[in-house]
Amino acid sequence: MTADGWLSSVTGIACYSAGAAVDAAQLVAKRDGFFFTKVPVSEVAQLERFVAAGFRIVDTHVVLECTGAQHREPQAVRTAIASDHAPVLAIAERAFIWSRFHRDPRFPRELANRVKRAWAENCLAGKRGEEVLVVTEDGAAAGFLAVLKAGNAAVIDLVAVHPERQGRKLGETLTHAFAARWAKRAERLRVGTQLANTAAMRLYERMGFRVAEAKYVLHAHVRNGAVLQ
């Protein structure tokens, strides 16, 4: 079990990541707070152990990879500048509906939105990742994509489009820009999304990304040694 200090500071809740070796039943009985874990879809026995302890599946997280694809960088995309920060944070606070926090009914939407805003804020401040790309419409930021380097891979760490500008292929434009900028700087391009987010899955597959791994995401909310039902 590992304390997640950043998530705890954002949510105001004691947050912990539970690894595969943790006895889930003892974990729930010992501490109060919010617990989460990711289990490969092939590890059925491990999944059953967490479910038996009261953890619930809130998401199936899918990682897709792409190598060798050629993309042209769109002119409508730029590296975020200071004047983009406020619009990007506003988008991060409103645009997400499929994240594990938004799909967990025990997380108030306001709290889930706060997590995404704080995440984007870290990226803009240079505390996380390599850069933030912004796509513009009519001179204004309409969406963003944050890039993270992980080993020999460049990763789409966070991506969102303003709710009122969705359906205009701006997410695809951002992904093309990411691929064009990073395909020669990394051996692989990676992105994670939710299996339930079929629009995102289709977009990435259309652009040459293929499924590399999948994991169940499980949450448990514990109070006074008992899992909230």
- CA–CA distance from 93 to each of 10, 24, 136, 174 (Å)? 13, 32, 18, 19
* Token couple for 166: 């969705």
For residues 133-154, give the mean pLDDT: 94
Q: What is the pLDDT of residue 72?
A: 74
Q: How many CB atoms lie within 10 A of CB 201?
A: 17
Q: What letters, b where the CB count within 10 A reaches 16 and e where it falls short, cover 103-136?
A: bbeebeeebbbbbbbbbbbbbbeeebbbbbbbbb
Q: Provide the whole-model pTM.
A: 0.91
Decide if 30 contacts 56 (C-beta within 8 A). Answer: no
- At residue 30, the pLDDT reads 67
Is residue 73 very low, low, confident or very high in pLDDT (cuts 50, 70, 90)? confident
Q: What is the pLDDT of residues 38-51, one digit of tens each?
A: 999 999 999 998 99
Q: Name the more confident of 102 and 27.
A: 102
DSSP-derived 3-state class of residue 48: helix
Structure tokens belonging to residue 164 = 């009122």
Domains of the chain with CATH codes? 2-60+216-227 (no CATH), 65-213 (3.40.630.30)
Scanning the chain, the segments in alpha helix (DSSP H) are: 5-11, 24-30, 44-52, 85-94, 100-103, 109-124, 170-182, 198-206
pLDDT band at residue 97 using 50, 70 and 90 as cut-offs: very high
Going 24 to 28 to 32 to 33, the CA torsion angle's sign is: positive
189 burial type by CB count under 10 A (0-12 exposed, 13-18 middle, 19+ buried) = buried
Query: What local confidence, expressed as pLDDT, does residue 19 receive?
Result: 83
